[in-house]
Amino acid sequence: MNRPGVGGTLPESEPRARPTSGRLTRALQRLFHPRLVILETMRPVEVPVLTETKRRWLAGDRNGAILYAYEAVLDDLQRAYGVRYPPDWTHDDILAHGVTPEMEPLVPFLKGLHDLYLPIRYGGAVPESGPSPDRLVQSVYAQRAMWGLYVEGVRRDDVRALPRSDAGRAAEASEVSA
């Protein structure tokens, strides 16, 4: 029996391999297996409303955390979806009549925040074992239109935000020129 490399010869049925140079091998590997080039890295950033809600909750200001979260979510909801709620509407009216088809995925989370908000609005207090609003707030801001209000680099027309006031445009122009 002839074994290659041990004093024998290769059988006729097996073709001889040609020696390849190391440079050719490396070139072929680069060609067929290119390395990934990372153009930009991103790190997760928490929405400021969520951060402030958590901060107040952990500091023991449970009522303040829920009040802040509910009011901030309603303000941002109007900005993100281009709606304006009349001042004479109740919070129940907002949930019943102020939700557009684009906002439908948010309804369960808005109702959850509303349920936490109602007792506080009328002078009640959150029980010590009461749930934190941070998960509801996080779910609301998971929608692209909502987190897009706070993320740099996302075109505002992609998230359907309302146009800024003239003062806001002037401040932005001064930042760009500086």
How close are the terminal C-alpha atoms of the chain, in Å? 83
pTM for the model stands at: 0.60
pLDDT beneath 50: ranges in the chain: 153-178
Cβ-count burial 36-74 (b if 16+ within 10 Å, e if not): eeeeeeeeeeebebbebbbebbeeeebbbbbbbbbebbb
Tell which residue, 68, 172, 63, 66, has the closest CA to residue 125.
63
**Which of 110, 34, 41 has its CA nearest to residue 70?**
110
Cβ 116 vs Cβ 66: under 8 Å: yes
Could you read off the pLDDT of 123-149 as tens digits, one per residue? 888 877 888 899 999 999 988 888 888
